[in-house]
Structure 1
């Protein structure tokens, strides 16, 4: 059976963040993910998570200075100390929340930057971070993101992400394959799933309708077909529901009952 995790940063906006754990559990989600849990102490998050009876399966490492619109530090030369401090904070939360996966954002390409220098920095930072995470029992994930949602993001394509994972060659570094981003940048989602899932390098999937990033039963991507492909490929990982509900979150979950049937 496919395993779906509610993304608490986008779903249940009608509730305060910590209250979203109980709301997701009430709708039958056994797992949750979020972007950045750091506004609340880890102990508070764990208390709500345990009370709801759900597992925290993913969150992001700190993105840098959010007030400046930063979207990660991993590929930014000269920011290594900040990157390492962020990874240490993320691993502390991952340990407290028993969370197996942390998404590490690459960052935006500065004007005039050398992509090769950024790639070298990215690989070196991920190598260091993967070694730190391994001792904590955590898998790190990198995610190709479309440049319409995040203009200038460093990592955009599945083949680029897999090349980085292969170059770093750490057993706990994998790709976070968001089918919403994949459809916008590359399309041909079925072929990408058949190409990459059997490699074992995909550690997490995410879904949303395209192009409006609403429920997966809206838009141009046929998730009924996609879920059939995932069953055929025997995908056993989590599927994060990283979408913005068109209306009330619970009212928009008709797609979930169909996917589980």
Structure 2
């Protein structure tokens, strides 16, 4: 059966990150994910995680200036050293927190760099990430992000992701499927889940429009969650959504 996870970077945002582990457990979650845990020490997060009795299933690799509007690291040819440093930092956190998956954000297409060159750079960096994490039993993921919310992002849809999966060619590489980002581009979410089921290793969800909880937008989550079961997916399904009133629980997912 698929398992629900809470994204601690967006949920329970009224309290410090270490306190969100316990909040997630109280809301019914056994698993959590964190976008960027790096502003807190490993011992602080590990202690909070263990005390709450939850498991961290995914973190993002450090992404440089991406979230501040920059190009990021993974597809930028000039950022080789910074990407290697990010790998080492991500590895330290992932192994200490017993993380299953590490997500590498592709980044934005840099000025003066062709799409072909950026994709070649990204492919090589993902292969390096796979080699780095494989000895520790960790899967590397990459996700498509809609260009409406993040202009110039290199990887936008599942066709891009499938081409990347083929190019990387590593056993511990898989697709991170974000329901919100696909719906934001008016793609048929259930059709994409079925088409790409063989390579999906992590799923995230939020309603669209608005990126809120199921029921705040127009998506048919009963149908979507049923499709996730039908395709035989057995991984985590993470609530990466905005919850301004801080009341989101597993019961609101109708999963």
Contact 1:11 1:244 survives alignment (8 Å): yes
Matching residue of 1:120: 120
Report the equivalent of 1:241: 239
What TM-score, normalized by structure 1, do the two folds share?
0.93
What's the TM-score once normalised by structure 2's chain length?
Answer: 0.95
The question of whether the paired residues in 1 share the 8 Å contact of 2:74 and 2:104 is answered with yes
**Retained in 2: the 8 A contact 1:177–1:206?**
yes
Query: Residue deviations 1:130-165, cap 9 Å, x none?
Result: 111101211111000011211111110111111111
Give every structure 1 segment of 4 or more consecutive aligned residues whose post-TM-superposition deviation is greater than 4 Å: none
Please list the CA deviations of residues 30-78 of structure 1 after superposition, one character each: whole Å capped at 9, or x if unmatched.
0000110011111110100000000000110001136853363111112
Is this contact kept in 1: 2:25–2:54, CA < 8 A? Answer: yes
Residues 148-157 or 93-102, more deviating: 148-157
Deviation (angstroms), 1:253? 5.2
- Could you tell me how far 1:247 is from its partner in structure 2? 2.0
Q: Does the CA contact (< 8 Å) of 1:144 and 1:177 recur in 2? A: yes
Alignment match of 1:221 (pick from 198, 219, 222):
219
Cα RMSD for the two superposed structures: 1.5
Partner of 2:14 in structure 1? 14
* C-alpha spacing 1:40/1:141, structure 2 compared with 1 (3 Å): same
Supply the distance in 2 between the matched residues of 1:213 and 1:170 (Cα, whole angstroms): 32
Q: Which of 223, 228, 244 is the equivalent residue of 1:230?
A: 228
Which has the larger displacement, 61-70 or 82-91?
Answer: 61-70
User: Is 1:37 paired with 2:34?
Assistant: no
Instruction: Specify the alignment match of 1:176 in structure 2.
Output: 176
Aligned length: 255
Distance 1:172 1:226 in 2: 26
**Unaligned 5+ residue runs, structure 1?**
none
Structure 2 counterpart SS, 1:203: strand
Residues 230 and 155 (structure 1), Cα distance of their counterparts in 2 relative to 1, 3 Å cut: same
**Contact 2:145 2:153 (8 Å CA) reproduced:** yes
Distance 1:3 1:115 in 2: 36
Report the CA distance shift for 1:36/1:89 in structure 2 as closer, same or farther (over 3 A).
same
1:2 CA displacement: 3.1
Structure 1 pair 110/49, CA: closer, same or farther in 2 (3 Å)? same
Worse overlay, 59-68 or 113-122: 59-68
Q: 1:18 to 1:177 in 2, by over 3 A?
A: same
